[in-house]
Amino acid sequence: PRIGRFPVGGMTTRELEDTLETIYGQYMNSPMVRAKISNHRVTIFPGGSGGTAKVITLQHDNTTLIEALALAGGITDGKGYNIKLIRGDLKNPIVYRVDLSTIEGMKQANLTLRANDIIYVEPRLKPITRFLNELNPYITLLSTTLLIINSVNQIQQKL
């Protein structure tokens, strides 16, 4: 018998296997299903400066949030107490908030990731560093100009 199509998005591999075993169980005695997901990727925004986002292909079906953050290189300048795991349709996602600064939060970080999950670590605001980075080209221009003026004065004094 033909079973037809049904949505499997958002299921873990184990949930898919259990669902298929239940469906095939109507037609067979004690079926055993082994599923393999070939596109098991998550996107990680680890906080900090731009350009640090990564797409990671998960090698294991039971990869946790903590393991994925470690694979991405850890949290760089992000708020470890404000991590969001975004799952499902982006028009109406399920958002899990995780706080790694507490023991309870570490237990939450044991979440098993699913394909297409997004991990967002809120960046830590650094207003002084940002201000200095914005000011740096002007300071460089000023110091270069002063160096040229000083060099010209030194040459004129020797003449």
- Cα gap 48→151, rounded to integer Å: 41
- The predicted structure's pLDDT at residue 42: 84
What pLDDT is stored for residue 138 in this prediction?
Answer: 92
Residue 124 has what DSSP assignment? P
- Report field, pTM of the whole predicted structure over 0.75: no
Tokens of 125: 């605001």
Distance CA 80, CA 102 (A): 10
Is 87 exposed, middle or buried (CB count within 10 Å of its CB: 0-12, 13-18, 19+)? buried
Instruction: Give yes or no for residue 19 having a pLDDT over 60.
Output: yes
pLDDT over threshold 60, residue 1: no
Q: What sign results for the dihedral spanned by CA atoms 104, 110, 115, 118?
A: positive
**Residue with structure tokens 């000083």?**
150
Instruction: Examine the pLDDT at 26 and tell me if it is beyond 60.
Output: yes
Using CA atoms, how far apart are residues 47 and 51, in angstroms rounded to an integer? 10
Contacts of 122 (CB under 8 A, 6+ apart): 47, 78, 79, 82, 83, 84
Q: What is the pLDDT of residues 55-104, one digit of tens each?
A: 888 877 788 888 888 888 888 778 888 889 999 888 899 999 998 888 88
pLDDT at 21: 92
Q: Which pLDDT does position 150 carry in this prediction?
A: 92
Residue closest to 45 by CA, chosen among 139, 103, 119, 136: 119
